[in-house]
Structure 1
Amino acid sequence: MSLHADATAVLTGWDPPDAAQAELREHYLKYLAGHEDGMWRSSRPEHLTASALVVDPSAPRVLLTLHGVVNRWLQLGGHCEPGDTTLSTAALREATEESGLTGLRIDPQPLQLSRHEITAGGCRGTFHLDVQFRVTAAAGTTYVVSEESHDLAWFGVEDLPADLDHAVSDLVRRAYA
């Protein structure tokens, strides 16, 4: 099965938690139906991406990255690559690459969808159709800040950065609902 087919199957089988998420799912599916290249960063005006909210199994906290281009605290994630076979493994790969954490476990069902315009970097002027997953860190592992980040940090769900984007706040809320 291709990554495109996997994304279509995952989104088709996903039960959105509310009407807004159902509307986004339909938008993603329509885009995929009309764009065979919809999984790749070269697809315009939109393309799917995969991200991971890394949660700590021992405490209600999440690992966020101070993104190197956007300079805001975000969940880990990014573009799909040719070696990715599923959306969830793309999100898991991104989380591992960006955090250095080992032993991560991913819930294969999306937690949330987020469509957002890219205003910086090589994809400026496009929209990311982000499929966001919950990833659980292994106890006792230590993260490493990658070249893509200014910083990484654990934040308690009640102590998130003040200027956190509402989509990331919603993602955290859904992860702990």
Structure 2
Amino acid sequence: MPLANLLTSLMALPESESRDAYLHFVNLAENAALRRDGGPQHVTGSCFVFSPEFDRVLLCFHRKGQFWVQFGGHIESEDASVAEAAQREAREESGIDDLVLLSPAIVDLDRHDLHGGFSCTAHWDVGFAATADPDAEIVVSDESEDVRWFPINELPVQLSAGFSERLKRVRRAAMSLSGIRIG
């Protein structure tokens, strides 16, 4: 079911080189693409968490990567979809139990090579968006060194490569999913 769901969600995206690369990878690897032990490259789910006004973003300082980034991780056997995996990861890594995705629609695709402390060689990350109350209690997981809200226009310096541009695109998509007209 997660494989069919992912393929359907990818096909719903506008045609692009990135979308086509994901479709090729997932069709070639099939179910192995969704498993951490399915090979050195696999799909991961991530979640960009915004305040309800979309003026702040909740980020974690990734322990292995040593940069600020959205929440995310591997798909587990109990996850019914990549979207569900992304939501679970965001809840686990932020401590915000009532965090809910805005939509099961994909808002970001980011394939990145991994180095250093990672056992994988690449993640085919599929991103989703959620909102959360900035006053909700935050709990830092073992995978992060810190979790913090940042104003959209005052992001920290230590970001993953290309994150600022991705965040702009994701924020626009998330606002659109929420019915907010972007001027």
Both proteins in one fold, TM over 0.5: yes
Contact (CA 8 Å) 2:108, 2:127: kept in 1 or not? yes
What SS does the aligned partner of 1:154 have? Answer: strand
TM-fit CA distance, 1:166? 4.0
Matched with 1:91 is 86
CA distance in 1, matches of 2:40, 2:141: 28
User: Is residue 2:150 matched to residue 1:155?
Assistant: yes
TM-score normalised by L of structure 1: 0.89
**Mapping for residues 22-37 of structure 1, pairs under 5 Å:** 22-36=16-30, 37=32
Q: How many pairs were matched up?
A: 170
- Segments of structure 2 that go 5 or more residues without pairing to the other structure are 173-183
Read off the aligned partner of 2:20 and give its amino acid letter.
E
* TM superposition shift of 1:157: 0.7
Q: CA deviation at 1:176?
A: 2.9
1:64 to 59, 84, 91: 59
Aligned to 2:110: 114
Confirm whether residue 47 of structure 1 aligns to residue 42 of structure 2: yes
CA separation in 1, counterparts of 2:10 and 2:111? 14
Identity %: 36
Unaligned runs of 5+ in 1: 17-21
Contact 2:54-2:171 within 8 A present in 1 as well: no
- 1:164 matched to 2:164? The reply is no
Q: 1:31 to 1:156 in 2, by over 3 A?
A: same
- Letter in structure 2 aligned against 1:117: D
**SS of aligned partner of 1:42:** helix
Deviation per CA, 1:105-124: give whole Å up to 9, x if none: 21211111001001133424
Amino acid at match of 2:7: T
Amino acid aligned to 2:84? T
Within 2, Cα distance between the matches of 1:77 and 1:83? 16
Runs of 4+ in 1 over 3 A off after TM superposition: none
Q: What residue in structure 1 maps to residue 6 of structure 2?
A: 7
The Cα of 1:175 is off from its aligned counterpart by 3.1
